[in-house]
């Protein structure tokens, strides 16, 4: 997977007008992927826990979700930046530590669904996860030969199916990645054998969606110790 790692200087110079642009969203939501490059003598566990505590203490930046990729030194944060002027506190900290990071603007699925004419109540979606057996799924919807109407109908069908799954008690939360084309949805939720079978049926049917699954754990539960399956 090709990674666009945001340059330390360019990210520190993101302008206030870009971060605070009125694009119809109720909040400035971002997914921040932080990568700890190999370094001799690095205490990975200590660094990860330091990042966790530092981000929690940043004023006007609310941590909605925080995860660690299983088996790799990568942290995944979903943040609500309440005041754009606080953003340099985060980028400045990451820059000072020499961490590589990538930022993706997000749009909550309920707001996106509303634009498509689908009413998805915000209380359908999980706001926290207790289970450390989690998965992040990035699902891309290729346009192929679909018309705009057909493409939107495919998205509406997908969101309605997601809502139906959530109503059965399956914990999940979903975001749209802004600026990505073809359109990309990002799912977070517990992984179960039943859920894996649903993915197989759902994603590899006639619509032939593209998806990348990543096993993650809740950062609040991270200890650096091996977790049994």
Least confident of 10-14, 168-172, 219-223: 10-14
For the chain, what percent of residues have pLDDT higher than 90? Answer: 40
List the domains of the chain with CATH numbers. Answer: 8-106 (3.30.70.1150), 111-221 (3.30.70.260)
pLDDT in tens, 72-125: 999 999 999 988 888 898 999 999 988 999 999 999 999 999 999 998 888 999
Contact assessment for residue 216 and residue 134, using Cβ atoms and an 8 Å cutoff: yes
pLDDT in tens, 123-139: 999 999 986 689 999 99
* CA dihedral (119, 185, 55, 21) positive or negative: negative
């Amino acid at each position: 997977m090709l990674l666009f790692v945001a340059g330390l200087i360019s990210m520190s110079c993101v302008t206030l007008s870009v971060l605070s642009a009125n694009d119809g969203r109720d909040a400035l939501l971002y997914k921040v992927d932080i990568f700890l490059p190999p370094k001799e003598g690095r205490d990975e566990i200590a660094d990860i826990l330091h990042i966790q505590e530092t981000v929690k203490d940043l004023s006007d930046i609310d941590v909605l979700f925080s995860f660690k990729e299983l088996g790799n030194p990568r942290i995944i944060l979903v943040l609500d930046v309440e005041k754009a002027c606080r953003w340099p506190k985060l980028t400045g900290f990451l820059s000072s530590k020499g961490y590589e990071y990538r930022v993706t603007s997000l749009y909550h699925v309920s707001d996106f669904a509303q634009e498509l004419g689908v009413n998805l109540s915000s209380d359908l979606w999980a706001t926290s996860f207790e289970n450390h057996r989690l998965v992040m799924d990035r699902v891309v919807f290729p346009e192929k030969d679909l018309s705009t109407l057909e493409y939107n109908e495919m998205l509406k069908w997908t969101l309605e199916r997601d809502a139906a799954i959530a109503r059965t008690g399956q914990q999940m939360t979903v975001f749209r990645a802004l600026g990505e084309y073809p359109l990309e949805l990002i799912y977070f939720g517990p992984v179960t054998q039943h859920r894996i079978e649903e993915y197989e049926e759902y994603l590899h049917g006639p619509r032939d969606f593209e998806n990348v699954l990543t096993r993650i754990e809740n950062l609040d539960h991270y200890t650096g110790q091996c977790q049994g399956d």
